[in-house]
Structure 1
């Protein structure tokens, strides 16, 4: 189980790193901050470039926390919050990633929840520093709720912006721009 938790943490962190740097730097075939900011604005996240920075930094901090196994419930909460926002924004395309759906952010968030419940395992900085996250269910619930609560702020702002667009958009136009 120790190796499995280490692999889960490191692989998820690597994917989150790639996901963040696609947005922030245009690495791994990503669009970079300006182009991703335009997409964020279409989705109702304003100002787009700033929201890309917030999302990318949250993903990087969550990835670093999970990779190192340091303050794991906090890292999990960061990932849950960021991925909840991403999943809601992409859910208009359905679930599966091949259609631009929310499958990827759902999976990343779900994996972070699993780590919040299990803890990082013995091969982690949390273990080396004597930080114990037991009982795991309490920390898992707390990390999940904190992430969901944090996602409420950008999602509420997005909902307001999309409502405003609907009232001013010409008939038949999609206010989310998707």
Structure 2
């Protein structure tokens, strides 16, 4: 699967780089960091600025690592975390199918990244230079654990920070209190 892995790495990793750059600096008609921060606020992913920068850099950097076939399970884990969080915060409520705003596409990306972490980036990769052209089940489980764990941590941090922010403002998020 060596050349097949290269094709998957370049397409999937390259698209993640583009997606990350959309968030980071507005490339490819993206929202840029300011728009991404607003999205994070709307999703209660506080602190929004930190989460916006984190997801932008994670998608860009991990996408580039996937293209290069470098630290594949770690890179896949970072991207899986982004996709799991997108499912949890945006798509799950819409069901499976992408046509309804569901998580179909995210699930496919998670499956591809998990398979890539298991089968490895192939012989034409940085990992192969260090004897890791194939990672096996350990690579897949590492990527999934990092992805799911990263999502849980990000969403929980967002929830707790949003609650703290609300409590500090007296629970008033812009409304008026009438007695």
- Matched with 1:65 is 65
- Matched with 2:36 is 36
Superposition TM-score, scaled by structure 1 size? 0.82
Asked whether the equivalents of residues 80 and 110 of structure 1 are also in contact (C-alpha less than 8 Å), the reply is no
CA RMSD, 1 decimal:
2.3
- Matched with 2:17 is 17
- Matched with 1:96 is 97
Q: Where do 5+ consecutive residues of structure 1 fail to align?
A: 171-178
Cα–Cα, structure 1 residues 36 and 93, in superposed 2: closer, same or farther, change >3 Å? farther
Superposition TM-score, scaled by structure 2 size? 0.81
Asked whether the equivalents of residues 74 and 142 of structure 2 are also in contact (C-alpha less than 8 Å), the reply is no
Q: Where do 5+ consecutive residues of structure 2 fail to align?
A: 174-179
Asked whether the equivalents of residues 45 and 162 of structure 2 are also in contact (C-alpha less than 8 Å), the reply is no
C-alpha separation between the residues in 1 aligned to 2:133 and 2:124?
13
C-alpha separation between the residues in 2 aligned to 1:72 and 1:141?
12
- Matched with 2:56 is 56
Number of residue pairs matched by the alignment:
167
C-alpha separation between the residues in 2 aligned to 1:140 and 1:3?
19
